Amino acid sequence: MTYDVPIAPGETGDLAETTGTSGRGWPMWEVFVRARRGISHVHIGSLHAPDARTALQNARDVYTRRGEGVSVWVVPSSEISAFEPEAAAEYVEANEKVYRLATTYDIPDEVGQM
Amino acid sequence: MTPEERFDAIVAAEDKIEPSDWMPEGYRKTLIRQIAQHAHSEIIGMQPEGNWITRAPSLHRKAILMAKVQDEAGHGLYLYSAAETLGVERDQLQQLLHEGKHKYSSIFNYPTLSWADMGAIGWLVDGAAITNQVMLTRCSYGPYARAMVRICKEESFHQRQGYELLIRLCNGSEQQKAMAQDALDRWWWPSLMMFGPHDTDSPHTEQSMEWKIKRVSNDELRQQFVDMTVPQADYLGLRIPDPELRWNKRRGHYDFGEIDWEEFWNVVKGNGPMNRDRIAHKTRAWEEGAWVREAATAHADKSRSAA
């Protein structure tokens, strides 16, 4: 099945023609789910909701319909800070201190497992 | 390395593009359009099946159908979220759908006339969707690919419950089997149309393949679907309504007849049996739900100012 439906007369799909909500819509929340006890919460997706309680309820309905989690966190997306893409690239490239890796040290076979 | 070279290198390395990465404007636009259409398809796709919830033949079947329709809503939400990572607002996409400026899969513009249609949709429509969506799990855009992984897991339930429903009908009375055959007769060709025009008439395919948004062409996917489905029809003892359908030993694939492209374009252009009803219903639901959205916002504002 293709969702790339061919362009038909009447379809412009031009976003400039829409008004959107310009901030009047509900804020976005990031959803984190702990799949089972003993492991961390993992980001699973996002959703819109007016407040935290509704966000949690929607998260349960949208992301955990089949027992995917035993615990859910929701965090306002606007509260998440992150590196800008360029800074992130530098950050990753600066991490080239290979002597930090265990595998860069040769241990003779006679010593056995280390 | 320029941003464009970085983008090309990530795509070439089969790595994923993430929302904060630089991407060509055409890539962003193609994805917004495709993911939005996909989301709209899930949301509109609730209607043909929602039509039968109150008339399901047993409580068990009713519960299954409600779970499936709820999944479609969930799939729509995952996909709108994926589209939003590209810098578009959900309400903008709703507006484009309601005004007919955004399309959704034409399959949902056909009516569901009998209970057997619930089986045929699960088996054929969701089967076709899986064929496409498995490919999309390898799409180069991370949020879209991740949404597809979740969706594929759930679609498997959709297809299996539909096929099982048809097994029951085909092992039932004469009338029940006839109802299953009638559903196959009506849904077969529209299901093949779901894969879109021939590769030769699909101008965007080449660019989408280059960007690794799309990994397999329309005609190849359609062939995969036919090859997979024919033996399943045989098992049911149903006849696929295509006199030209036969196994081609040389190709190792089934040959099949030509799609009625006039019908295809007619439905795409908005003149299918249910196009107007689907959008009218969707718009009405949006408008009638306005007070719920407003009340929730007012409640949240009030709670915040009280705190």
Per-residue pLDDT tens digits of chain B, which is 307 residues long:
889 999 999 999 999 999 888 999 999 999 999 999 999 999 999 999 999 999 999 999 999 999 999 999 999 999 999 999 998 988 899 999 999 999 999 999 999 999 999 999 999 999 999 999 999 999 999 999 999 999 998 999 999 999 999 999 999 999 999 999 999 999 999 999 999 999 998 877 889 999 999 999 999 999 999 999 999 999 999 999 999 999 999 999 999 999 999 999 999 999 999 999 999 999 999 999 999 999 999 999 999 888 7
Give the whole-angstrom CA distance, residue B47 versus residue B109.
10
Mutual angle of helices B290-306 and B275-288, in 10-degree steps: 30
- Specify whether the CB–CB gap between B83 and B93 falls below 8 A: yes
Q: What is the pLDDT of residue A23?
A: 47
Give how far Cα B61 sits from Cα of A67, B77, B253, Å.
Answer: 21, 25, 35
Q: Which of A78-87, A88-97, B137-146 has the lowest average pLDDT?
A: A88-97
3-state secondary structure chain B: CCHHHHHHHHHHCCCCECCCCCCCHHHHHHHHHHHHHHHHHHHHCHHHHHCCHHHCCCHHHHHHHHHHHHHHHHHHHHHHHHHHCCCCCHHHHHHHHHCCCCCCCHHHHCCCCCCHHHHHHHHHHHHHHHHHHHHHCCCCEHHHHHHHHHHHHHHHHHHHHHHHHHHHHHCCCHHHHHHHHHHHHHHHHHHHHCCCCCHHHCCCHHHHHHCCCCCCCHHHHHHHHHHHHHHHHHHHCCCCCCCCCEEECCCCEEECCCCCHHHHHHHHHHHCCCHHHHHHHHHHHHHHCHHHHHHHHHHHHHHHHHC
Contact criterion met (CB below 8 Å) for A26 and A78: no
Q: What's the complex ipTM?
A: 0.84
Query: Phi and psi dihedrals of B118, rounded to 5?
Result: -65, -35
Look at B81 and A45 and tell me if their CB atoms are within 8 Å.
yes
H/E segment holding residue B185? helix B174-193
What distance in Å separates the CA atoms of residue B81 and residue B89, rounded to the nearest whole number?
9
Q: At what angle do helices B126-136 and B142-170 cross, to 10 degrees?
A: 160
Distance from B150 to chain A by nearest Cα, in Å?
9
Neighbour tally for A57: CB within 10 Å: 13
Contact call for A85 and B296, based on CB within 8 A: no
Of A9, A82, A89, the CB nearest to B269: A9
| Alpha-carbon distance A61 to nearest alpha carbon in chain B (angstroms) | 8
Full-model pTM: 0.90
Distance CA B100, CA B217 (A): 27
Cβ-defined contact of B196 to A28 (cutoff 8 Å): no
Residue in chain A lying closest to B154 (CA): A66
In this predicted structure, the answer to whether residue A7 has a pLDDT above a threshold of 90 is no
pLDDT digits (tens, 9 = 90+) for A23-55: 457 889 999 999 999 999 999 999 999 999 999
Put simply, the answer to whether A8 touches B197 (Cβ < 8 Å) is no
In this prediction, residue A29 carries a pLDDT of 93
> Would you say residue A10 has pLDDT above 90?
no
Nearest to B90 among A13, A25, A51 (CB): A25
Question: Is the model's pLDDT at A21 over the cut of 60?
Answer: no
Out of A3, A18, A50, name the one closest to residue B37 (CB): A3
Partners of A48 in the β-ladder: A28
Q: Radius of gyration (Cα) for chain A, nearest Å? A: 23
Q: If you measure CA to CA, which chain A residue comes closest to B90?
A: A20
CB B148 within 8 A of CB B137: yes
How near does any CA of chain A get to the CA of B292, in Å? 11
pLDDT band (50, 70, 90) for residue A3? low
Give helix B218-236 / helix B174-193 axis angle, nearest 10°. Answer: 170
